[in-house]
Chains A and B, each alone.
Chain A
Amino acid sequence: MNPEDTAGLVQRALAGEQTGLARLVAALTPVIQARVARTLLARRSLLAGGRDLRQEVEDQSQEVFLALFNRDAHVLRSWQAERGLSLENFVGLVAERQVLSFLRSGRRNPWKEDPSFTEDELTTATPESDPEEVTASREHLSRLLDRLREELSPLGCRLFQLLFVQELSQTEVQTASGLSADAVYAWRSRLRRLAQKLLAEMSGTGASARKT
């Protein structure tokens, strides 16, 4: 889909137009299915034994659509094409988060709750542990990465990707995300505090962070 068509289709679906909704669902189904399948297959051992993977892909894909549209479609409405994230990538991140949350907690829909830590939580409860003091095994780090992906909004995931996976420069991140230098700096800081917070939570040294 080209970006203009995509934005128009999203608007039609959000307005309740049935044909627009049907077309949007048809366009996004393969994207969501593939991301759900990839996320599940990479963590197959976390899925209860005997569970039919095809059925789980179908169930989780439907949950992703519902997550996009529930509460007056507040998740889908948060998609902003000008932030450099295509709709396909945006829903892919939503799908990944949905599956990670399901695998960790069994919750079918993490979006019904506050999707991330508040600034206050991050600011007040973060222990000052140097990362080098923490000997995180690869498995531990892997779980931390999943938790980070689960906690972050699609925009937060995008910023993590640009800053720490692609390792782009500050200027490149600003260009790719459409954010100001201050906003990128704020995101870098927020990501750092969130990672620390989650690490502390997983190590049992931090306050229980989630309002589960």
Chain B
Amino acid sequence: MDDRLLSELGDLARQQHDAERASLDDRWDRLAAGTLTAEEDAELKALGESSPEAREAYEAFRPLGADFQARVVNAINAERTTEAPSPKPQEPRPRVLPFRRMIHRAEVWVGFAAAVAAGVFFLVRGPEQPRIPNYEMADLKGDQTNRGSEPSQQSGLPKLSPGSPLTLTATPDTAVQGVEARAFLSSLSGKRDLLPWTSEPRVDPKGTVSLEGTLGKEIQLPAGDWRIWIVVGRKGRIPSVQELQAELQAGRFRDADWQAVFKDLRVKPRASP
């Protein structure tokens, strides 16, 4: 028996591949990967508005995002737990680096607003460790809140000026002891790496975390749009900045031992004399 049937199938596979690539070129893969150039992104968006089919394609390839990834990790862990009731191997603890030694990293990071905004938290618990309580950040009050005239994704950002008082508070839903907190920041534009912040939060006896001061004095923050992260964790259990960045990029905003919460704000340039 020869291979004519398989050869026919091979021909058809080639034709299908060519037809698919003619209608959905490599740009669509890069859309899913989030690596399109601005120009390409504009092209595909415009294409997506040209017909219902193209709109559907755009939606199909639009990145699933960090919240999806968090759900997947959660589902995989849940399935592993179901398949293997015996305790799974403990994850090695991330190395904890002294906060102050890392403050000179130059890059800034933004991430995954959608996941946090949607309130998606991924919970992983070690078998014997009770997790820390849930923390929430109190609303941030700035000099003013711009609405309407700014781009939609920026609207509502509290705006602060040098000299403005700034108070950030993260409160646990139940009192907790034995926790510490660190502050990080990431730019909402440009490079998006997580950057340890020189301002150090305080933790009161009930576990409430606060960071308080005057912008330009106790609190140093350049002009621009920023995401301020407060990471609360059991003493010695807050991940290193590198580990934390990986966790946040993967859509994980808490573990049994730590939780990351954030607020966005805009710092206005210092007024010219």
Interface residues of A (CB under 8 A from B): 15-19, 21-23, 25-26, 29-30, 33-34, 37-38, 40-42, 44, 53-54, 57-58, 61-62, 65-66, 69-72, 128, 130-132, 134, 136, 138, 141-142, 144-145, 148, 160-161, 163-165, 167, 188, 191-192, 195-196, 199
Contact = CB atoms under 8 A, between A and B. Distances in A.
B78 to A, nearest CB: 10
A42 B73 contact: no
A195 B6 contact: yes
B13 A61 contact: no
Given A37-B61, A58-B68, A21 B83 contact: no
B69 A37 contact: no
B68 A61 contact: yes
Contacts of A42: 16, 20
Best-buried of B61, B63, B79, B255 by chain A (most CB within 10 Å) = B61
A61 B64 CA distance: 9
Nearest to A136: B8
Interface in B54-94: 56-57, 59-64, 66, 68-69, 71-73, 75-77, 79-80, 83-84, 88-89, 91-92, 94
Interface string B243-268: 10011011110010000000000000
A171 to B, nearest CB: 17
Interface stretch (B26-34, B97-105, B146-154, B213-221): B26-34
B63 A145 contact: no
Nearest to B242: A19
B25 to A, nearest CB: 11
A34 B33 CA distance: 8
Given A17-B92, A22-B246, A164 B68 contact: no
B9 A26 contact: no
A19 B239 CA distance: 11
B83 A70 contact: yes
B10 interface: yes
A25 B69 contact: yes
Contact of B73 (A15, A21, A34): A21
Nearest to B57: A41
B176 interface: no
A85 B83 CA distance: 28
Nearest to B56: A53
Given A19-B94, A23-B246, A70 B79 contact: yes
26 contacts: A16-B91, A18-B252, A19-B243, A19-B246, A21-B73, A22-B250, A25-B76, A26-B249, A33-B32, A34-B61, A42-B16, A44-B56, A53-B56, A61-B68, A69-B76, A71-B83, A72-B84, A130-B1, A132-B4, A136-B8, A142-B16, A144-B9, A145-B9, A163-B10, A164-B3, A164-B9
Contacts of A19: 91, 94, 243, 246-247, 250
Contact of A30 (B17, B32, B243, B255): B32
Contact of B61 (A16, A25, A33, A131): A33
Ranked nearest first, the 3 interchain pairs of A and B with the lowest CB-CB distance are A164-B10, A22-B250, A30-B33
B68 A26 contact: no
Contacts of A33: 32, 61, 63-64
A16 B76 CA distance: 10
A136 B7 CA distance: 13
Nearest to B17: A165
B91 A58 contact: no
Contact of B60 (A16, A54, A131, A163): A54
B138 interface: no
A167 B250 CA distance: 40
B9 A141 contact: yes
A29 B72 contact: yes
A23 B76 contact: no
Contacts of A132: 4
A65 B76 contact: yes
Contacts of B33: 30, 34
A196 B76 contact: no
Contacts of B17: 165
B14 interface: yes
A44 B68 CA distance: 23
Best-buried of B3, B7, B16, B28 by chain A (most CB within 10 Å) = B3
B124 interface: yes
Contacts of A134: 5
